[in-house]
Amino acid sequence: MHQLELKNITKTFGSVVANNNVSLTLDQGEILSLLGENGCGKTTLMNMIAGIYYPDSGSILINGEEVSIHSPIDAFKYGIGMIHQHFKLVDVFSATENIVLGYKDQEKFNIKKAAAKVKEIADKYGFIIDPRKKIYDMSVSEKQTVEIVKVLYRGANILILDEPTAVLTPQETKKLFDVLRKMKEDGKSIIIITHKLNEVMEISDRVAVLRKGEYIGSVNSKETTESQLTEMMVGKKIELNIERTEPKGCVDRLIVNNLTTIKEDGLLGVDHVSFTARSGEILGIAGIAGSGQKELLEAIAGLAKIKEGSLDYIEPHSGEWVDLCSKNPRQIRDLGVRLAFVPEDRLGMGLVGNMDLVDNVMLRSYEKGRPVILDRKTPGKLTDQIVKDLEVVTDSVHTPVRRLSGGNVQKVLVGREIASVPKVLMAAYPVRGLDINSSYLIYNLLNKEKETGSAVIFVGEDLDVLLALSDRLLVLNGGKVTGIVDARTVTKEEVGLLMTKTVESTVEE
Amino acid sequence: MVEFFFQAIGIAVIFLLGCVGETLTEKSGHLNLGIPGIMCVGAAGGILGVVVANNANGFLSILLAVIFAAVFAAIAGGIYAFLTVTLRCNQNVTGLALTIFGNGFSSVFINNIIKIEGDSGHGAMLSEAGNKFFLAHLPFSDLLGWFGKIFLGHGVLIYVAIAIAVVAAIVLRFTRIGLNLRAVGESPATADAAGINVTAYKYSFILIGSAIAGLGGMLYVMQLMHGIVGAELAGTVEGIGWLCVALVIFTLWKPALAILGSFIFGALYIFPSFLNVFFPDATFTFAQLKLFPLIPYVATIIVLVVTSIIGNKENQAPAALGLSYFREDR
């Protein structure tokens, strides 16, 4: 009998199938790794065990008994606790206050007693925690500790950790793994979501692999290799019918050398990244989400703090080198370096939801034209053109952008950047959430840009698309370049390995 | 001097009730700018309660005044809660609208009660109730000199008000309910994930907070004004209500501090009337006199500036104050 068993779980969001007929087991005292690419449904699956989502069909069994988990409270009742990637903690509360929040034991509310119990749990498993310390004074790893103790405090026997190491330093990761091993000895069962293969091999007893919402299989960690896991994770290459012309007249356009940036929280965004983008070709950027793609593009667009390294743009006509590090975002844009970034919520960056299409197009050109009274005619014509060319479905060009469907919003966003005839076009996740037809429309647009001699940088999520569309492929992992490969000849497995490969301090060119 | 402190306490408890009510509401993440209007509605309710009790006996008069004031105010708070919690309207707009509504409602309502059933009957009844019941104090307090007058010479509701503030402070600080409430105001998503019923907490504390503030409005008429209903009643109560909102910031969202803070505000509020006591020889121009009521607001701004510079997160407004909570956003 398994401690936890999932049978034929299916979950859909609208028309998107997040999990399709997934079956999975977890035994007592076992550490199971759940491995898979972004968007393969790992977190969704775990959220169903933790009571955040409810499966459309299928059943969850605990110790052989079928249960229905409607809320996190239900999950706790069955001894299931999940540590989410985004911590759910109240900043001005102490560790103990956060741990007891919402927990109803039979005893009288006594924060001192609770703190003593927290200390006891921490000592048992080797956590280092100060029960009275406020969350806002804590480091990320301390916050994570609070989350784990919170779950243990409520007597969880099954712990689910969603990418716990993504925010940790190697030393902190080692400490976390020591704690996990102690929990395992204590009879707790643990599911850990990750896509770092070396960690999978190090910590887990068994690995279950998901791909595109489907359960591929599980193997014992001792009997598998990294390359076997990669193959399970990325699957066989799928042939896509995307036209790819041979790059013509390639000249260096953007030269990035040893670029290192710092994010707002003081961590490194990208770490000594070097590459060259050439006109007339598409440079794909692959990597697991949050590997530094956004940070890299923002650095080029002048939106990030550059710690070291250089960014040089080569003028197409004069061949002159322009140092982009010393330019502000508008000067960079005026040089013809354009960024079309589609964030997760699709609107947040780039478009103003309450303004209509024309106004949004004008955002890129308002400083041109008449000095005081805005010229709306020229952008209006341009908007009509974008709407016609890209088949944007909208009542009129005066509809607020937020009323457009996601795909149409993206067409406006990408179309606006392309309309400015960029020399370097950076498109990040331009097909996020789009249906097949719209996606192909965007791919063709990017191809057309490439043929007209732009240097296109394309950040994508789907490896098959990246392989079919790009000429060269740059792979990022943890802010570092793990390889630049020829997209025509490389295999999917090779890219998969690069995506999960951990690079030590220096990068080979 | 004794009279000054006596009166300062009399007005301070009105500030205290308004402030504690608003603090409890804000702790649930809702900035209720309708509190001034809710206090007006509470005053109207209190008057109706006294009229219904018909001066039969003092206990009944006070009890009905309290119940009617609390229920009236809670109903007004319920309008606010429904609009901001369930319909997720903008809290500032809703609150301001409620204040305008409360002011107008209480004027119409009070005038109708007093006038409809005879020309002067109810006015006299109210002032009799105010003097006889609401101001009734311990008989021996008169024998204890200034101490008795300042600390024991008040009507029973003054002590109830202070007790409410003490209870609110204890609940917020030391109980599970208080912890949950603070979590709701700081981070509703976290509270939700921890299994706390966010909507129930928001509704409960908006209603409780409104009821407490409503008592403040009632106290103004029946205690401070001795039951005499003036034409400018709603305007004055609204003005006091705005000071209560400022007092919440002044006392750093802490009901225990509010006991002290409300006394300071009360003293500042009546200070202009005691100028001839403090400065027997000085004369003030009309314009100078008008400057004194500004002092509480200036003090509040100074507190805001100082706490912002110190930047201690515990002395700030609840993090989710003013934000509607959508569960789907998680």
Q: For chain A, what are the domain ranges?
A: 4-234, 250-336+423-433+453-509
Q: For chain B, what are the domain ranges?
A: 2-329
Q: Above 80 in pLDDT, residue A437? A: no
| Distance (Å, whole) CA B278 – CA B4 | 10
- Site from A77, A88, A149 to mutate, B interface, most B CB atoms within 10 angstroms: A88
Question: Computed from CA positions of residues A11, A17, A20, A25, in that sequence, does the dihedral angle turn out positive or negative?
Answer: negative
Give the A-side interface with B, CB within 8 Å: 52, 71-73, 76, 88-93, 97, 100-104, 109, 111, 134, 136
The topology (CATH level 3) of A4-234 is Rossmann fold (3.40.50)
pLDDT, average across residues A364-369: 70
Q: Does B170 touch chain A (CB under 8 A)?
A: no
| Distance (Å, whole) CA A468 – CA B316 | 53
Residues A148-200 pLDDT 10s: 999 999 889 999 998 888 777 778 888 899 999 999 999 999 999 987 777 88
CA B58 to the chain's CA centroid: 23
pLDDT by residue for chain B (330 residues), tens only, comes to 788 999 999 999 999 999 999 999 999 999 999 999 999 999 999 999 998 888 888 889 999 999 999 999 999 999 999 999 999 999 999 999 999 999 999 999 888 877 655 555 677 788 888 888 888 887 777 778 888 888 888 888 999 999 999 999 999 999 999 999 999 999 998 998 888 899 999 999 999 999 999 999 999 999 888 888 877 889 999 999 999 999 999 999 999 999 999 999 999 998 888 888 888 887 888 888 888 888 888 888 888 888 888 877 788 899 999 998 887 644
| Distance (Å, whole) CA B31 – CA B18 | 13
Residues A451-467 pLDDT 10s: 888 889 998 878 888 88
| Distance (Å, whole) CA A147 – CA A89 | 8
Q: Above 60 in pLDDT, residue A506? A: no
Q: Above 50 in pLDDT, residue A392? A: yes
C-beta separation of B199 from B192 below 8 A: no
- Which of A71, A90, A92 minimises the CB distance to B195? A71
Q: Does B197 touch chain A (CB under 8 A)?
A: no
Q: What is the pLDDT of residue A343?
A: 62
Question: Under 8 Å CB-to-CB from A426, ≥6 apart: which residues?
Answer: A297, A300, A301, A337, A338, A339, A340, A341, A456, A457, A459
- Which one is the CATH code of B2-329: 1.10.3470, 3.10.50, 2.60.40, 1.10.150? 1.10.3470
Higher pLDDT, B141 or A306: A306
pLDDT band (50, 70, 90) for residue A433: low
A91/B179 CB distance under 8 A: no
C-beta separation of A192 from A32 below 8 A: yes
C-beta separation of B187 from B179 below 8 A: no
Q: Which of A455, A457, A420, A413 is nearest to A438 (CA)?
A: A413
Q: What is the pLDDT of residue B117?
A: 53
Token match 């997760």: residue? A344
Burial track A471-497 (b if 16+ CB lie within 10 A, e otherwise) = bbbbbbbbbbbbbbbebeebebbbbbb
Q: Does B329 touch chain A (CB under 8 A)?
A: no
- Which of A72, A92, A103 minimises the CB distance to B193? A72
* H helix and E strand count, chain B: 15, 0
Q: What angle do CA B140, B143, B144 make, to 5 degrees?
A: 100
Strand partners for A476: A481
C-beta separation of A92 from B186 below 8 A: yes
Q: What is the pLDDT of residue A385?
A: 87
C-beta separation of B65 from B222 below 8 A: yes
Give Cα separations from B299 to A322, B238, B308 (angstroms).
55, 19, 14
User: Do the domains spanning A4-234 and A250-336+423-433+453-509 agree at the CATH topology level?
Assistant: yes
Q: What is the pLDDT of residue A306?
A: 86
Q: Does B175 touch chain A (CB under 8 A)?
A: yes
Q: Does B116 touch chain A (CB under 8 A)?
A: no
Q: Above 80 in pLDDT, residue A254? A: yes
Q: What is the pLDDT of residue B330?
A: 40
| Distance (Å, whole) CA A8 – CA A215 | 10
The topology (CATH level 3) of A250-336+423-433+453-509 is Rossmann fold (3.40.50)
Q: What is the pLDDT of residue A362?
A: 85
Give Cα separations from B130 to A347, B62, B116 (angstroms).
61, 9, 21
Residues of A in contact with B187 (CB under 8 A): 88-91
Q: Which of A262, A273, A267 is nearest to A309 (CA)?
A: A273
Q: Which of A487, A449, A468 is nearest to A279 (CA)?
A: A449
Q: What is the pLDDT of residue A76?
A: 86
